[in-house]
Amino acid sequence: MFSGIKYWLRYSPNKFGCQLLACFSTKITLKSNLTKTEYTRGTHPHACGQPTSTTHPHLIKRGEVLPGISLQELKRRRSKLVECVTLMANTKNIHRQQIVVIPSSIKVYMSDKIPYVFRQNTDFLYFSGCQEPDSILVLTYKEDKSSYTLFVRARDEHSELWDGPRTGVEMATEVFGTDYSLPVTEFEQFLAALIQEDKGSIIWYDHADVVQPILHKKLCRLIKLTDNQIFASPKILFHQIRLIKSACEIDLMRDSCRIASDAIVKTIQSSKPGISEHQLFTTVDYECRMHGAEYLAYPPVVAAGRNANIIHYINNNQIIQSGDLVLMDAGCEYHGYSSDITRTWPISGKFTPEQKVLYEIVLDVQKNLIKSLKEMPSLDNAFRHMCFLLGERLQDINVIPKNIEESKLLATAYAYCPHHVSHYLGMDVHDTGKISRSIRIQPGMIITMEPGVYINPKTPYAPSHFHGLGIRIEDDILITENGPEILTKNCPKEIAEIEALAS
């Protein structure tokens, strides 16, 4: 609906500025040098700085800001953040003004004027829904009153000619549903005025992990002006909110997991001895994008033979020899949500006896661990459980000596699987990194389960007939009231299924 309010905002930017002046008692005046033709861009097919339901109806439904994410959902997220800040203020008995600063990503260049693919800062995207670089979301909160202001790049004819349309200040409040929006150039002035108003303001800003170096310098300068400002990192708050997925996030995760599962199936089917790891990378990338993913969620591991002993092998430039196992760790990003799957298969279509023995162990351990998620352990406990299960099974086949004490058994198993067995998953691959893995899992979380075994010749006790083998099986799992639900179940992992796909 092109409401009267919007009309007023579009034609009276100075009035809009006045409203902000009244609210924040700052001396901000909005420059308006936009022409009347520019204001009519609402009917232009590329009206905004990102897809909308008007310009990209195949991606965005009415009422949505991002694919699958409605404005209502964004507002719920913002309310939760206000609740968290309120709770924090109340428990610590703080009555001062609180200002939460969430910066967007900036454009990063690989060489002169050649940008890397832009990926928005996840925390910023989660709360703002805005896909533009050089933006800032600010929450101000004092005495139960809160408001959100989105700072965006002002419209600029020259830049837009090269880089495409920007949403601009005039449209931002309507598109993103924040209380106010201002040009990003006004940020320093805005914050200075807020601090002036309440010299004891608490500024929540992550100063350890700098996203926008210029903004960071400005903030540090502002903080120096007064003595009693506190920089507190809000990241733990953001991640606590992001940890539990909403219904629409779960839907997006289901799609992301389904697309990646199908892509890996196709990749296994297309694989044969003599092709390169790089070609399998291409296949999984192609299949994910052809089914709607924007790109792969991370550089995939495509490791043939003993390359699988290198946990983060991403060179992917070797020829796959007959008889090799291929370990592929790949997932896609679908509308901002990441999947993360690993499968290991014999390139010739049949496991050798040694490969089969180890594969069966990893598969059994993985299935056992998934079952035990019903008891809602912590991820760290799942890891200890894995070391125990894996250790016992490796003892059965004489890869680990029998009759060693338990602590030694766990340590030796860890040497054969030197990575954690699980991480949280969501918008980021290693999602909500500020959340400890020692807390119990809860319904609404999504996690991975990824035990592996890597028989590096250097590992103590490793019998030579297993040398160079590397196997990992990884699924993505939604935790529900009724137990674990495997979101990547479309991707087969049983020996017979894998052999059927690979031959």
Binding site residues, Mn ion, CB under 5 A: 340, 448
Question: Smallest distance from the beta carbon of 239 to Mn ion, in angstroms?
Answer: 17
Nearest distance, CB of residue 418 and Mn ion, angstroms = 14
Least Å distance, CB 399 to Mn ion, is 24
C-beta closer to Mn ion: residue 287 or 475? 475
- Is residue 254 within 8 Å of 332, Cβ to Cβ? no
- Closer by beta carbon to Mn ion, 186 or else 340: 340
Nearer to Mn ion, 124 or 281 (CB): 281
Distance CA 62, CA 164 (A): 22
Q: What does each C-alpha distance from 317 to 75, 304, 345 come to in angstroms?
A: 46, 10, 18
**C-beta of 400 vs 417, nearer to Mn ion:** 417
Say whether 423 sits in a helix, a strand or coil. coil
Quote the least distance from Cβ 419 to Mn ion, whole Å.
Answer: 9
3-class DSSP assignment, residue 248: helix
Least separation in angstroms between residue 340's CB and Mn ion is: 4
What is the distance between the alpha carbons of residues 425 and 209, in angstroms, rounded to a whole number? 20
Burial readout 261-273 (b: 16 or more C-beta within 10 A, e: otherwise): bbbbbbbbebbee
Dist CA 329 CA 314 (whole Å): 10
Q: How far is the CB of 331 from Mn ion (least distance, A)?
A: 8
In whole angstroms, the minimum distance from the beta carbon of 450 to Mn ion comes to 5
Q: What minimum distance in Å lies between the beta carbon of 309 and Mn ion?
A: 18
Burial category of 62 from C-beta neighbours within 10 Å (exposed 0-12, middle 13-18, buried 19 and up) = exposed
- In terms of CB distance, is 21 or 311 closer to Mn ion? 311
Least gap, CB of 183 to Mn ion (angstroms): 40
Cα gap 359→326, rounded to integer Å: 12
Establish how many alpha carbons lie within 13 A of residue 162's alpha carbon, considering only the half-sphere containing its beta carbon. 6
Buried b (16+ CB within 10 A) or exposed e, 100-115: bbbbbbbeeeeeeeee
Report the alpha-carbon distance of residue 412 to residue 77 in Å, rounded. 44
* Dihedral angle, C-alpha 78, 83, 85, 86, nearest 10 °: 140
Minimum CB distance to Mn ion smaller for 333 or for 340:
340
CB nearer Mn ion, residue 82 or residue 362: 362
Partners of residue 474 on adjacent β-strands: 342
The tokens for 151 are 């700072």
Q: Which is nearer to Mn ion, 201 or 422 (CB)?
A: 422
Q: Which is nearer to Mn ion, 205 or 424 (CB)?
A: 424
